[in-house]
């Protein structure tokens, strides 16, 4: 069934782009790679991976709720993720002057609660709908090869909106990420930045998980930025590396899966994992070498 | 780099409180506090937990209105002087896995509040970036952090992190530097060297420094003035004037004894213990915790 690899790059590229579904997959993959890599870079630096994970789980109640209400599934994703972001932000304890640091303790508990409630709501929607939810597997593991033209266009618009918001706030968001008390003292709208970032993260997760599935969002949202942060501490270079890694993982994953019988999600995740491992290894040996000097 | 705020530079006092009183949620925090911080002075704000030290800082930053009295910072209302104030809030040490370099932290002191993408497209912005990089190198040199400014801040010691945070505040050429418990969580040698650094900055950069501290001992010999807050009141003057049995007994309204050890350290004995929120964070703190 699957096309064979000719080892001639031009022929292979032509083979890859013969079918419209593959072109759509490559375009959608490229868009979400850039989006997930940039938003994920901040998420990893902000230690909000748990929040990101919870948002990705929201795809389940989102899809189930949309099916129940007769709304488009994509809309369900965005609504559920957005609502979860607002709830999670509302749970953060307001730390004033003299109470240093973020309220990580309370935050983790709040996020865990949001996650549980989300899953419970999803389960409820599912039973109310007589357990009819088209493509549970798709929901969890993605539909890389079933992306439509319309989806690509929507993704592009969402990505542009989310990236524009991040671009406008690159430095204030960085300052607020590593030193929230300092940012507050300098008059930055810390609460707005917090909520704004969670909403952008919600957008990115909702967009990405439609393609990669709820369980594989992480392959793109965490591994490339985390690997980039192992390799460089420079913010600008880190962001660029993160995007390059995410693109490499997606393109490689799609390319290899095309010539194989195993699913895209498996390859994308495996490549992301391998990349992260390699970066960790490089970081550790570089440090050991540095100490040896 | 030139500072655009001309009048704050011309002001004769860095900060002035006259008859200042603050009430929060109906609770009196302090009443009739008088304080004058001169230009280039190094002043410590002392007192037990809950005496209103942080509240006083908030009032000076214009984050909190006074109930009565007046507050001026660099000759103007505090909110208008904010651009000329460098403020270091009290905070935890950076997480050990924070993958950001010291220089990036210092650079955020300059551009951390600027919106938009930091891409130098025109020669003018490129020139400005160059000037900024020079200024960043300069303040890192001033605080003695050149040797480790390119390492991850998370991997640095508390003292090294504190120096970089001071550089971050200095990079904007502030006229007044306000630090909330910067010596907290540092070991004794680092407390002493950060105190010496701040004294040097007062002189070399002509910056006034107002510092909240738990323990006056690491600061002895460097300070121009202390303000001691307790029981809703405050008294200010030189260390010798303020930290005496008579002055502190009057302030607390209960007999207090100030002892001087042979190595010159001051020990305050007999003060009513404020409720502790911080566990053993100040375990080494002679000034605060010596039992009656």
The answer to whether A234 contacts B95, with C-beta atoms less than 8 Å apart, is no
Q: Which of A167, A171, A178 sits opposite B114 (nearest CB)?
A: A171
Query: What distance in Å separates residue B10's CA from the closest CA in chain A?
Result: 23
* pLDDT tens, residue by residue, B24-52: 888 889 999 999 999 999 999 998 888 89
The pLDDT of A122-139, averaged and rounded, is: 76
Element (H, E) at A93: none
The answer to whether B88 contacts A182, with C-beta atoms less than 8 Å apart, is yes
The answer to whether A178 contacts B108, with C-beta atoms less than 8 Å apart, is yes
B209 pairs with which residues across the strands?
B42, B177
Spatial separation of the C-alpha atoms in residues B243 and B255, rounded to whole Å:
13
Q: Is the model more confident about A290 or about B131?
A: B131
Per-residue CA distances from A38 to A220, A242, B11, B79, B80 (Å): 10, 7, 45, 36, 36
ipTM above 0.90, yes or no: no
Mutate to test the interface with A, among B99, B102, B171 (most CBs of A within 10 A): B99
pLDDT of residue A157: 95
A20 Cβ under 8 Å from any chain B Cβ: no
Q: Is the model more confident about A171 or about A287?
A: A171
The answer to whether B118 contacts A236, with C-beta atoms less than 8 Å apart, is yes
Q: Is the model more confident about A139 or about A268?
A: A268
Spatial separation of the C-alpha atoms in residues A5 and A2, rounded to whole Å:
9
What residues of B are in contact with residue A178 (Cβ under 8 Å)? 94, 98, 100, 105, 108, 153
pLDDT of residue B185: 80
The answer to whether B54 contacts A97, with C-beta atoms less than 8 Å apart, is yes
The pLDDT of A256-267, averaged and rounded, is: 87
The pLDDT of B218-235, averaged and rounded, is: 92
> Is the pLDDT reported for residue B291 higher than 60?
no
**Please, what sign has the CA dihedral across residues B69, B74, B76, B82?**
negative
Read off the pTM: 0.86
Spatial separation of the C-alpha atoms in residues B97 and A268, rounded to whole Å:
27
Q: Give the CA angle between residues A144, A79, A116 to the nearest 5°.
A: 90
pLDDT of residue A292: 56
A290 Cβ under 8 Å from any chain B Cβ: no
**Angle between helical axes of A20-45 and A149-168 (0-180°, round to 10):** 20
**Residue B184 — very low, low, confident or very high, per pLDDT cuts 50/70/90?**
confident
Spatial separation of the C-alpha atoms in residues A86 and A220, rounded to whole Å:
23
> Is the pLDDT reported for residue B164 higher than 50?
yes
pLDDT of residue A3: 66
pLDDT of residue B4: 46
Q: Locate B2 and state its tokens.
A: 């030139």
pLDDT of residue A271: 94
Q: Is the model more confident about B253 or about B111?
A: B111
The answer to whether A182 contacts B104, with C-beta atoms less than 8 Å apart, is no
* pLDDT tens, residue by residue, A220-239: 999 999 999 999 999 999 99
Spatial separation of the C-alpha atoms in residues A168 and A153, rounded to whole Å:
23
The answer to whether B58 contacts A234, with C-beta atoms less than 8 Å apart, is no
The pLDDT of A207-215, averaged and rounded, is: 81
Is residue B65 classed as helix, strand or coil in its secondary structure?
Answer: coil
Query: Closest by alpha carbon to B43, among B225, B229, B203?
Result: B225
Q: Which of A168, A178, A234 sits opposite B105 (nearest CB)?
A: A178
Query: In order of start, what are the domains of chain A with their CATH numbers?
Result: 9-285 (1.10.3470.10)
Residue of A nearest to B169 (CA): A182
pLDDT of residue A106: 55
The answer to whether A97 contacts B63, with C-beta atoms less than 8 Å apart, is yes
Q: Which of A181, A186, A188 sits opposite B91 (nearest CB)?
A: A181
pLDDT of residue B131: 93
**Residue A43 — very low, low, confident or very high, per pLDDT cuts 50/70/90?**
very high
Kindly report the average pLDDT of chain A as a whole number: 85
The answer to whether B100 contacts A167, with C-beta atoms less than 8 Å apart, is no
* Residue environment code for B39-55, b if the CB has 16+ CB neighbours within 10 A, otherwise e: bbbbbbbbbbeebbbbb
What residues of B are in contact with residue A174 (Cβ under 8 Å)? 108, 112
**Residue A131 — very low, low, confident or very high, per pLDDT cuts 50/70/90?**
low
> Is the pLDDT reported for residue B133 higher than 50?
yes
Q: Locate A18 and state its tokens.
A: 């013969």
Tell me how far the alpha carbon of residue A89 is from its chain's centroid. Answer: 18
What residues of B are in contact with residue A182 (Cβ under 8 Å)? 88-89, 91, 112, 165, 168
> Is the pLDDT reported for residue B279 higher than 90?
no
Alpha helices (runs of H) in chain A, residue ranges in sequence order: 9-16, 20-45, 49-57, 59-69, 73-90, 104-128, 136-141, 149-168, 170-178, 180-185, 190-212, 217-221, 223-231, 235-258, 264-292
Query: Closest by alpha carbon to A274, among A243, A248, A255?
Result: A248
A94 Cβ under 8 Å from any chain B Cβ: no
The tally of CA atoms less than 13 A away on the side-chain side of residue B281 is 13
Spatial separation of the C-alpha atoms in residues B182 and B162, rounded to whole Å:
7
A149 Cβ under 8 Å from any chain B Cβ: no
**B115 in Cβ contact with A172 (< 8 Å):** yes
Lowest-confidence pick of A166-170, B92-96, B193-197, B273-277 = B273-277
């Amino acid at each position: 069934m699957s096309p064979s690899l000719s080892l001639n790059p031009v022929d292979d590229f032509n083979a890859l782009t013969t079918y419209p579904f593959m072109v759509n997959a490559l375009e959608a993959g490229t868009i979400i790679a850039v989006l997930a890599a940039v938003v994920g870079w901040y998420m990893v630096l902000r230690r909000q991976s748990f929040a990101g994970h919870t948002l990705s789980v929201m795809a389940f109640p989102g899809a189930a709720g949309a099916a129940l209400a007769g709304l488009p599934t994509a809309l369900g994703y965005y609504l559920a993720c957005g609502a979860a972001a607002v709830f999670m932000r509302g749970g953060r304890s307001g730390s004033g002057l003299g109470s240093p640091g973020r309220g990580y303790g309370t935050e983790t508990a709040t996020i865990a609660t949001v996650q549980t409630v989300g899953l419970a709501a999803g389960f409820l929607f599912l039973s109310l709908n007589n357990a009819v939810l088209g493509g549970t597997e798709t929901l969890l593991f993605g539909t890389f090869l079933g992306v439509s033209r319309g989806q690509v266009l929507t993704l592009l618009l969402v990505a542009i909106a989310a990236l524009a918001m991040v671009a406008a706030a690159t430095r204030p968001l960085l300052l607020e990420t590593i030193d929230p008390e300092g940012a507050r003292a300098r008059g930055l709208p810390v609460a707005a930045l917090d909520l704004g970032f969670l909403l952008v993260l919600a957008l990115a997760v909702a967009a990405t998980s439609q393609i990669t599935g709820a369980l594989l969002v992480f392959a793109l949202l965490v591994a490339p930025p985390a690997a980039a942060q192992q390799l460089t501490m420079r913010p600008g270079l880190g962001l660029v590396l993160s995007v390059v890694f995410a693109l490499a993982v997606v393109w490689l994953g799609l390319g290899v899966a095309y010539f194989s019988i195993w699913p895209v999600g498996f390859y994308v995740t495996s490549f992301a994992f391998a990349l992260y491992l390699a970066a960790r290894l490089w970081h550790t040996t570089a440090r050991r070498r540095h100490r040896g000097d | 780099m030139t500072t655009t705020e001309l009048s704050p530079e011309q002001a004769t006092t860095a900060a002035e409180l006259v008859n200042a009183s603050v009430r929060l949620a109906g609770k009196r925090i302090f009443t009739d506090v008088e304080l004058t911080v001169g230009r280039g002075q190094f002043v410590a704000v002392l007192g037990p937990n809950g005496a209103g030290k942080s509240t006083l800082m908030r009032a000076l930053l214009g984050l909190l209105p006074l109930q009565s009295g007046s507050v001026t910072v660099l000759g103007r209302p505090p909110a208008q002087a904010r651009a000329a104030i460098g403020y270091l809030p009290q905070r935890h040490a950076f997480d050990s896995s924070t993958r950001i370099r010291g220089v990036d932290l210092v650079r955020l002191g300059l551009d951390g509040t600027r919106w938009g993408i930091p891409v130098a497209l025109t020669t003018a912005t490129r020139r400005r970036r160059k000037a900024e990089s020079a200024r960043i190198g300069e303040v890192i040199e001033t605080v003695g952090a050149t040797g480790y400014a390119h390492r991850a801040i998370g991997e640095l010691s508390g003292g090294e992190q504190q120096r970089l945070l001071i550089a971050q505040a200095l990079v904007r050429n502030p006229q007044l530097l306000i630090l909330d418990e910067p010596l907290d969580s540092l070991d004794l040698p680092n407390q002493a060297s950060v105190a010496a650094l701040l004294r040097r900055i007062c002189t070399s950069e002509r910056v006034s420094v107002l510092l909240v501290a738990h323990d006056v001992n690491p600061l002895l010999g460097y300070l121009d003035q202390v303000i001691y807050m307790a029981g809703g009141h405050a008294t200010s003057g030189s260390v010798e004037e303020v930290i005496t049995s008579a002055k502190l007994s009057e302030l607390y309204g209960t007999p207090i004894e100030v002892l001087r050890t042979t190595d010159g350290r001051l020990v305050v004995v007999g003060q009513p213990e404020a409720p502790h929120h911080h566990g053993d964070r100040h375990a080494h703190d002679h000034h605060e915790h010596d039992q009656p």
